[in-house]
Amino acid sequence: MNILFILAGFGSGVLAASMGSIIAFTLCGMLAVAASLVTAYGADAGFLTHGFSTLTFGPFLGPYVAFASAVATAGYAGYRGHLESGTDIFTPLEKFKDAKVLLVGGLFGALGEVLLQLFAHLGLAPLTDGGALVVVIIGIIARILYGKGRIFGKYTGSEPRRFFPNKQETIYDAIIGGGIGLLTSTLALFLIQTGVDQTAMSYYPFIFFGISATMYYATAGGQPIPATHHITYPSAAAALVGIQAFGPIGLVLGIIFGICTSLFMDIVAKTFNSHVDTHIDPPAVTIATFFFILTFIKFLFI
């Protein structure tokens, strides 16, 4: 265990709780774009280790620490009555001036770092996106601790509860997912055909992740910007795998992933985040699930 990273995770959790999960995630996105581009195009090994791995996706702004701890702390703040609902992941908890809230954020931040290191120690890291999996686990822990209903929520309506999107939602999800998948896949093929090397292309999915995460600044401002990182990130990664395994026609895998991740996230949101009082992140569930599927595809064809 890297004790320094665990301590840094505690500090990151305190900071993230004070600013709120959406702002913390947006900062991660901004740094992800910059760090990915610089690393892909010639940064030295020191920048790779510290600028990309440690700062962006490590114990400073890594979603498994900063975003996850702020989400869990929002659940705690709702439990204590500070927030109307623990699902409110937009409000910076600084406004309540409650030291216990910050300490809870720190504890969840440290826990996120411990869990990620544990996955690596057990050899589980290559199976999926470990950071996304930690975000999911911490969300589940927070619901068990601070949620007043069941893990899937408590529905009290008279009509049957819906777990699947209706026809209009399904068409919309498929079009936006397919469109994003087409974008990430065709650009991936273009860059590969123009001679961008494999090492540089390995950072390609993180650029799209960062762009999608940065878009959340508009969401924090009240604009109805869609969440897309659960589409852009896996579809870009799938396009690279598909092209490597099957040649140019393999870009279709990225399009398929775009459609499937969009639809799957909607189902997860209706299952885990409807009629609840804490937040389990549907994009994180989607990313963890589809990177596991992508690992299986790589095992079979590469």
Q: pLDDT tens digits for 191-211?
A: 999 999 898 899 999 999 999
Minimal CA–CA distance to 32: which of 176, 233, 199, 281?
233
- Other Cβ atoms less than 10 A from the Cβ of 77: the count is 27
Residue type, 209: F
| pLDDT on residue 73 | 98
- Between 163 and 249, residue with greater pLDDT: 249
Q: How far apart are CA 16 and CA 242, in angstroms?
A: 36
Q: How far apart are CA 145 and CA 116, in angstroms?
A: 21
Task: Indicate if the alpha-carbon torsion angle 287, 217, 7, 54 is positive or negative.
Answer: positive
Q: Is the pLDDT at 270 greater than 60, yes or no?
A: yes
Residue type, 265: M
Q: Are 151 and 279 in contact (CB under 8 A)?
A: no
Residues 104-110: what's their mean pLDDT? 98
Q: How far apart are CA 69 and CA 148, in angstroms?
A: 19
Q: How far apart are CA 176 and CA 259, in angstroms?
A: 8
Alpha helices in the chain (DSSP H): 3-19, 21-40, 45-47, 66-79, 99-121, 130-146, 167-193, 198-201, 204-214, 216-220, 229-246, 251-272, 282-301
| pLDDT on residue 47 | 58
pLDDT tens for 223-241 read 888 999 999 999 999 999 9
Question: How would residue 221 be classed by pLDDT, with cut points 50, 70 and 90?
Answer: confident
Q: Are 243 and 188 in contact (CB under 8 A)?
A: yes
Residue type, 297: I
Q: Are 113 and 6 in contact (CB under 8 A)?
A: yes
Residue type, 201: M
Q: What pTM did the predictor assign?
A: 0.95
Q: How far apart are CA 242 and CA 236, in angstroms?
A: 10
- Other Cβ atoms less than 10 A from the Cβ of 202: the count is 14
Question: How would residue 84 be classed by pLDDT, with cut points 50, 70 and 90?
Answer: very high
| pLDDT on residue 224 | 85
CA angle 244–257–253, rounded 5-degree value: 30
Integer Rg of the chain from CA = 19
| pLDDT on residue 157 | 77
pLDDT tens for 157-194 read 778 888 999 999 999 999 999 999 999 999 999 999 99
- Other Cβ atoms less than 10 A from the Cβ of 161: the count is 13
Tokens 């300490």 belong to which residue?
103
pLDDT tens for 41-59 read 766 656 555 667 788 899 9
